């Protein structure tokens, strides 16, 4: 088998080598192609056939690399979306728990407040108004009760506005 080195090649061969390198051929493969060209010089048809096969093989190898890269890209994309969703979920909103609404009572009529025109999200009042039987109104602003309140059970006072909406 004829082994070629860069020193042995003429400038024309060198141009061909650079072209083959651009196509992604390894040096070992380029040497094989050149060896075939030199050995097959007497039969140009077989020489061309051989090079066609080498090029077709190279295209198949590139397509395989493309698939690997595409899969890699898809994996990164889906992980990226998961991370974006995670960041979104971690944003915390504060609300007034509907379950604990009975702890609030009007200081005049002593009845519990009920939500009126309220934006409720997952069991928590984020924005809106609370009303009782006598018509007293409490505003809920960004999840916090604003205005006069009377609390039936003072020990639960701390829990009222500190509920995080999950």
Question: Which residues are at the interface with Zn ion (CB under 5 A)?
Answer: 106, 108-109, 132, 134, 136
CB of 8 closer than 8 Å to CB of 30: no
- CA-wise closest residue to 164 among 73, 98, 95: 95
Listed in sequence order, the residues at least 6 apart from 153 whose beta carbon sits closer than 8 Å to its beta carbon are 103
CB of 160 closer than 8 Å to CB of 100: yes
Closest CB 138 distance from Zn ion, rounded Å: 10
Cβ closer to Zn ion: 108 or 152? 108
Closest CB 87 distance from Zn ion, rounded Å: 43
Q: What is the dihedral of CA 121, 123, 126, 127, to 10 degrees?
A: 90
Cβ closer to Zn ion: 126 or 138? 138
Query: Nearest to Zn ion by Cβ — which residue?
Result: 106
Cβ closer to Zn ion: 123 or 147? 147
Cβ closer to Zn ion: 105 or 120? 105
Cβ closer to Zn ion: 40 or 128? 128
Could you give the CA distance from residue 28 to residue 99 in angstroms, rounded to a whole number?
Answer: 75
- CA-wise closest residue to 136 among 120, 116, 154: 116
Closest CB 108 distance from Zn ion, rounded Å: 5
Closest CB 156 distance from Zn ion, rounded Å: 19
Closest CB 113 distance from Zn ion, rounded Å: 8
CB of 57 closer than 8 Å to CB of 25: no
């Amino acid at each position: 088998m004829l082994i070629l080195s860069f020193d042995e090649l003429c400038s024309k061969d060198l141009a061909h080598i650079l072209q083959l390198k651009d196509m992604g051929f390894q040096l070992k493969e380029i040497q094989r192609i050149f060896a075939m060209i030199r050995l097959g010089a007497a039969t140009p048809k077989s020489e061309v056939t051989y090079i066609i096969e080498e090029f077709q093989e190279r295209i198949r190898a590139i397509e395989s690399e493309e698939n690997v890269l595409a899969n890699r890209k898809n994996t990164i994309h889906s992980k990226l979306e998961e991370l974006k969703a995670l960041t979104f979920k971690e944003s915390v909103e504060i609300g007034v728990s509907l379950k604990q609404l009975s702890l609030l009572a009007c200081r005049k009529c002593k009845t519990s407040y009920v939500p009126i025109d309220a934006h409720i999200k997952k069991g928590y009042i984020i924005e809106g108004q609370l009303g009782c039987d006598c018509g007293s109104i409490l505003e809920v602003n960004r999840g916090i009760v604003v205005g006069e309140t009377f609390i039936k059970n003072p020990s639960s006072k701390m829990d009222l506005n500190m509920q995080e909406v999950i």
